A and B are shown apart, each in its own frame.
Chain A
Amino acid sequence: MAKRGVVDYIRETQVWKSIFRHGPPTNARNRAAVVAGNVFLHLHPIKLKKSGVQLGYTWCMGGLTFFIFLALTVTGVLLMFYYRPTAEYAYNDIIALKEHVPLGIMREIHRWGAHAMVITVWLHMFRVFMTGSYKPPREFNWGVGVILLVLTLLLSFTGYLLPWDQLAIWAIAVGSNMAKATPFLGHGGPGAALAQIGDFVMVSDKNDVRFQLLAGRFVGEPALLRFYILHCVFIPLVVGVLIAVHFWRVRKDGGISAPL
């Protein structure tokens, strides 16, 4: 009989067995059990085509996007401990983050991670297009992916306002001025002038899409709170749901694409 080490002893304790319901993944049965019985791994199939693990085929961009999303969630929550979304405190809280938090690179990771996520999403789409992976049966999931792209950009965009510095408010000013020009819905867009009955203006700067976005006519404190909630709660929730749909569909549509 082979010598039993400490590892084997631990593996046989009731505590270990209650957490991991399978043995070491050294044989086929246990390798399947590891993937099927682990909440973090069970999104994977048990086996997949070899092309699905080749970096030259997948570029790993979808996986990295999800990983960066998780990293941003974690660093974002950590940042929330230090940050208050008011015009009075926001800027100083960012300064404090820089000066008083030991080894503070959370803000850097969060900011560069946001850029990196935009990059990986784009490159993921690029790969999916180049390999024709949007073709049946994956049409719907491509559409979900496009919505996730939009939400990624919106997440990044809403985060821009939070430091409350010059770059923040003017970048948002440029962006929200485009919303002003939405046809029929923005007061500076075509069609707004038609929506007028006598002296009563239906689309004005007090009720158009830009007003809804900024919660006011200019980038000010109400906009800061609105962008904060959008950035930290609303959009991440929607993204979370859509990521679940996206991954589930990848499995149901036959896994990572491969030649038919």
Chain B
Amino acid sequence: MKELINWLADPIRSFPIVSVLFFFMMKYYRVVGSKKFAKWSLIAAAPITVWFCMDANFRAIILWPDNIPINIIIVLIAWLTWYALYRAAENDKRIENGECPIEALPENREKVWVWPNLVFTELMCMIGCTIFLVVWAIVFKAPLEEPANTTWAPNPAKAPWYFLGLQEMLVYFDPWMAGVVLPGLILVGLIAIPYIDTNPKGNGYFTIKERPIAMWGFLYGWIVLWMYLIIVGTFLRGPNWTFYGPFEYWDFHKVVSEYNVNLSEFVWLKWLNTPMPSNIILREIVGIILTLVYCCVLPVAIAKSKYGKKIIENTGQIRYYIFIILVLGMTSLPIKMVLRWLFSLKYIIALPEWELNL
């Protein structure tokens, strides 16, 4: 059983599993966002969690003090995602029946005094938060490792946990993509959201039905591409950034033979059976063409499709193209992951001469 879970947890298998689970969660969000579902998943999850925690290797990973915040955020996100789906499902049902969302009911629009209503809530939250932090600080001492030593590097050298999703992306991308361009795109994309999403519905209340594209896109990026990768980077990556199952001991001698091949090597050596051309542009021409098709031709092609036309009709050309470029930037990660697993493909464009690998 533990072997099976270790085997399933490998990103090669767990990433598709998580993506499929996400698809079902969003498709059947009214089932997922019900109290019954929450009750039964809690009943099912409790013994599984206890069983997981009985394993010494698993316990060693999750009880490492600096990993405690990730445990906390996993629990909070699971709960709050369920809760948001629950509220959205309720509102969507009401909207279908021609009623207003719960937040728009007259009794919820009624104005109340800030003193004492809001001030009291804030005070309670502050006290609760203080108690939580003090207890956390007493139970878990802040770790302090050996003094800094520039001549001896720990293995693995990990960034702070909130950057581990990016560090995990280093497996699939060059640092300039994983560390600079994609995080930059995330930030620009986040800031651009309100200017791209011109749908006036769903302002100020939970709903999925009235803004499906925004919800699917954001939640996929947030839960699968961000949180899931952080969890993998924290809990499942050991020495040499090699994958370790949740029940596996971090053995420094675990050797994984991995040999990844660039697209140009596939093209020239394998398929055409000729030596690599010395002209670097010619060498990478297939990758360059594919990238150009992905970035330039694909957006235009999608614009001609039914969905593309609908988006353009609602938001206009410029918004559509910004939107589609951001979406393609986001989907480049799962595409690259799948290509790596299926074909051991390293880079689509490999120009180490210019430090430009894609």
Interface residues in B181-222 (C-beta closer than 8 Å to A): 181, 187, 190-191, 193-195, 197, 200-207, 211, 214-215, 218, 222
Mask: chain B, 155-199; 1 = CB below 8 Å from A; 0 = not: 001111111001100000011101111000001001101110100
Mask: chain A, 179-202; 1 = CB below 8 Å from B; 0 = not: 111110010111111100000000
Contact of A31 (CB < 8 Å), options: B115, B163, B202 = B115
- Give every chain A residue within 8 A of B55 (Cβ-Cβ): none
Task: Give the contact stretch, choosing among A1-9, A137-145, A242-250.
Answer: A137-145
Q: Specify the chain A residue showing the minimal Cβ separation from B72.
A: A119
- Give every chain B residue within 8 A of A49 (Cβ-Cβ): 108-112
- A116/B190 contact (C-beta < 8 A), A44-B118, A166-B148 known: no
Interface residues in B57-107 (C-beta closer than 8 Å to A): 66, 68-69, 72-73, 76-77, 80, 83-84, 87-88, 100-101, 103-104, 107
What's the nearest-Cβ distance from chain B to residue A150, in Å?
Answer: 6
**Contacting pair B355 A192 (CB below 8 A):** yes
Cα(A57)–Cα(B207), bound, Å: 13
Q: Specify the chain B residue showing the minimal Cβ separation from A141.
A: B194
**Contacting pair B103 A57 (CB below 8 A):** yes
**Contacting pair A135 B121 (CB below 8 A):** no
**Contacting pair B103 A63 (CB below 8 A):** no
**Contacting pair B148 A67 (CB below 8 A):** no
User: With an 8 A cutoff between CB atoms, is A171 at the interface?
Assistant: yes
Of the listed residues A47, A177, A193, the one surrounded by the most CB atoms of chain B closer than 10 A to its CB is A47
**Contacting pair B147 A50 (CB below 8 A):** no
User: With an 8 A cutoff between CB atoms, is B43 at the interface?
Assistant: no
Cα(A59)–Cα(B179), bound, Å: 31
- A157/B163 contact (C-beta < 8 A), A34-B115, A136-B194, A194-B354 known: yes
- Give every chain B residue within 8 A of A31 (Cβ-Cβ): 113-116
Task: Give the contact stretch, choosing among B136-144, B283-291, B318-326.
Answer: B136-144
Interface residues in A110-135 (C-beta closer than 8 Å to B): 111-113, 115-116, 118-119, 122-123, 126-127, 129-135
**Contacting pair B140 A150 (CB below 8 A):** no
User: With an 8 A cutoff between CB atoms, is A240 at the interface?
Assistant: no
Contact of A131 (CB < 8 Å), options: B107, B175, B205 = B205
**Contacting pair B180 A178 (CB below 8 A):** yes
User: With an 8 A cutoff between CB atoms, is A98 at the interface?
Assistant: yes
Q: Specify the chain A residue showing the minimal Cβ separation from B186.
A: A146
What's the nearest-Cβ distance from chain B to residue A161, in Å?
Answer: 9
Cα(A238)–Cα(B142), bound, Å: 27
**Contacting pair A50 B108 (CB below 8 A):** yes
**Contacting pair B125 A63 (CB below 8 A):** yes
Q: Specify the chain B residue showing the minimal Cβ separation from A34.
A: B115
Cα(A98)–Cα(B207), bound, Å: 49
Mask: chain A, 17-32; 1 = CB below 8 Å from B; 0 = not: 0000000010010011
Query: Chain B interface mostly helix, strand, loop or mixed?
Result: helix
**Contacting pair B159 A259 (CB below 8 A):** no
Interface residues in B2-39 (C-beta closer than 8 Å to A): none
Q: Specify the chain A residue showing the minimal Cβ separation from B132.
A: A116
Contact of B160 (CB < 8 Å), options: A150, A157, A178, A219 = A157
- A164/B148 contact (C-beta < 8 A), A108-B141, A132-B204 known: yes
User: With an 8 A cutoff between CB atoms, is A77 at the interface?
Assistant: no
- Give every chain B residue within 8 A of A60 (Cβ-Cβ): 121-122, 125
Cα(A178)–Cα(B93), bound, Å: 47
User: With an 8 A cutoff between CB atoms, is A215 at the interface?
Assistant: no
User: With an 8 A cutoff between CB atoms, is B273 at the interface?
Assistant: no
User: With an 8 A cutoff between CB atoms, is B130 at the interface?
Assistant: yes
Q: Specify the chain A residue showing the minimal Cβ separation from B170.
A: A178
Binding site for A on B (CB under 8 A): 66, 68-69, 72-73, 76-77, 80, 83-84, 87-88, 100-101, 103-104, 107-119, 121-122, 125-126, 129-130, 132-134, 136-138, 140-150, 152-154, 157-163, 166-167, 174-176, 178-181, 187, 190-191, 193-195, 197, 200-207, 211, 214-215, 218, 222, 351, 353-356
A-B contacts, 9 of them at CB < 8 A, read: A34-B115, A53-B118, A108-B137, A132-B203, A132-B204, A134-B193, A143-B191, A156-B160, A259-B109
